[in-house]
Amino acid sequence: MDEHAACTPVPLSREGFNRKVVLPCGLKTAHVQKAMADFLDFLGFLNQQLSTRELPRLESSLMPANFSSMVGEFMSATIPKYCRTLAKNTYHNGHPDLVPAGRFQRNACQHGTEGIEIKASRHGSGWQGHNVEDTWLMVFVFHANSARDASLEIEPKPFRFVKVVGAQLEKSDWAFSGRSETSRRTITASVTRSGFEKMEANWVYRSE
């Protein structure tokens, strides 16, 4: 596939959404579907404009972690557009990303147990956070090129949502990862097998 063709993301599979999934705070699969479609429109528009100027696609320009963060932030900002019972947490670095609308003043919550934490990842498992905690976690998994691909001679490929999974996790569903005294790696916690299985069983979307 050439670079221009890769500018257009792969459309969502209409049959890929699980109508029996259990979601919190009034969220419906239709809300998630609309937010995902908005992101595909957004990314496709930007990449096509970049292509007219012979500039690399957004996913090929940003560092992998930055692009994943952007995908997650877009979903956190867009889901409340369709789901009126959820609001984006306006507290700086507040947890979770989405909170029950009107529950907190200005929808700002430093740390709460109600709501949904949103993450986006290129990886189908092994998702990470900064803390071991009870939280409802939703992960958007995608395939896309990265800033490293050109140097590795990896062919252009369009952005595609692979799956969306989510479930209520408990502290026991996380494994804390420490670091040595000389390491500069950010301290993280990873979803364990038990947490992964909960999320996979309550899948929201799977591409064909």
Extract the tokens encoding 179: 């670091």
- Reported pTM: 0.93
Express as a percent the part of the chain with pLDDT over 90: 81
Q: Which of 27, 7, 43 lies closest to 164 in space, CA to CA?
A: 27
| Averaged pLDDT of the chain | 92
CA distance 168 to 177: 21
Mean pLDDT of 170-198: 77
Per-residue confidence band for 185, with pLDDT thresholds at 50, 70 and 90: low
Per-residue pLDDT tens over the stretch 79-126? 999 999 999 999 999 999 999 999 999 999 999 999 999 999 999 998
Mean pLDDT of 37-55: 97
pLDDT of residue 133: 83
CA distance 61 to 164: 24
The structural domains of the chain, with segments of one domain joined by +, span 17-84+116-206
CA distance 78 to 97: 12
Which residues are CB-neighbours of 77 under 8 A, at least 6 positions away?
88
Work out the end-to-end distance of the chain between its first and last CA atoms, rounded to an integer number of angstroms: 20
- Bond preceding residue 9 cis, omega within 30 of 0: no
β-strand pairing of 135-143 with 160-169: antiparallel
Residue 161, classed as helix, strand or coil, is strand
pLDDT of residue 151: 81
DSSP one-letter string for 45-61? HHHHHHHHTT---HHHH
Q: What is the CATH number of domain 17-84+116-206?
A: 3.40.600
Extract the tokens encoding 182: 């000389």
Around Cβ 119, how many Cβ atoms within 10 Å? 21
Beta bridge partners of 150: none
Kindly list the distances between the CA atom of residue 126 and the CA atoms of 21, 35, 44, in Å, as whole numbers in the listed order: 22, 24, 28
**Predicted confidence (pLDDT) at residue 183 exceeds the cutoff of 90:** no
